[in-house]
Amino acid sequence: MQSLENKILLEGQVLSDEILKVDSFLNHQVDPFLMREIGEEFARRFKDEAITKVLTIESSGIAPATMAALQLGVPLVFARKKKSLTMADQYYKAEVFSFTKRETTLIAVGKPFLNADDHVLIIDDFLANGQAAEGLIDVVQQAGAHVVGIGIVIEKAFQDGGTRLRQSGFRVESLARIASLQDGAISFVKKEKV
């Protein structure tokens, strides 16, 4: 998505070979016009999939996922990150390990909000090692629901999450795919023909 790549080049800060900071428009400050455009693009790519629900994880996924849900005309559910879980039997839950934070988080979705007949589009702001996406897939599958695909705003294609998810048969649509952050320079994966 050209406007997203432009925004990343203009405002993204490369903190290391692995870390791209985009908190001026996605993770902390949020550009609502770009979020709307992102939502429209996800809806366009997945429009033939009879999606019934969008699922993301708090917090940075919520803005783009709300816009995608609006465009698709379906509810959004955001998984909660929990330290511990009271009334654990009321939730589908999974453990997600964060490589950046070096900690495991419990994510939880209330059972009423995912059903066996749901066709779920998972959306997240970043895809790196794929732990968050895999946790969300796990939660969807516990409900007996179907994962239609995974929509990612920014994929760090030099980390292995995207490859692993695609090899497992999931359709992953990333609106920007970073090939490298080496030497402080942002380069994108060259477009394949659509």
Q: Residues annotated in the binding site for 5-phospho-alpha-D-ribose 1-diphosphate, as ranges?
A: 128-132
CA atoms of 98 and 100, how far apart (whole Å): 5
- What count of other Cβ atoms lies within 10 Å of the Cβ of residue 72? 21
Residues at the contact surface with a second copy, assessed by CB under 8 A? 23-25, 28-33, 35-36, 58-59, 62-63, 66-67, 69-70, 73-78, 80, 109-110, 112-113
Nearer to a second copy, 29 or 168 (CB): 29
H or E element at residue 163: helix 161-167
Fill in the amino acid letter for 31: D
Nearer to a second copy, 74 or 147 (CB): 74
CA dihedral 139, 32, 44, 113 (to 10 degrees): 30
- Binding-site residues, in ranges, read 20, 27, 128-132, 156
Q: How far is the CB of 32 from a second copy (least distance, A)?
A: 4
Q: How far is the CB of 186 from a second copy (least distance, A)?
A: 19
Nearer to a second copy, 60 or 165 (CB): 60
CA atoms of 152 and 121, how far apart (whole Å): 10
Q: How far is the CB of 110 from a second copy (least distance, A)?
A: 6
Nearer to a second copy, 74 or 157 (CB): 74
Q: How far is the CB of 68 from a second copy (least distance, A)?
A: 9
Cis preceding-peptide flag for 98 (omega within 30 of 0): no
Q: How far is the CB of 36 from a second copy (least distance, A)?
A: 6
CA atoms of 154 and 78, how far apart (whole Å): 18
Q: Are 109 and 118 in contact (CB under 8 A)?
A: no
Nearer to a second copy, 25 or 165 (CB): 25
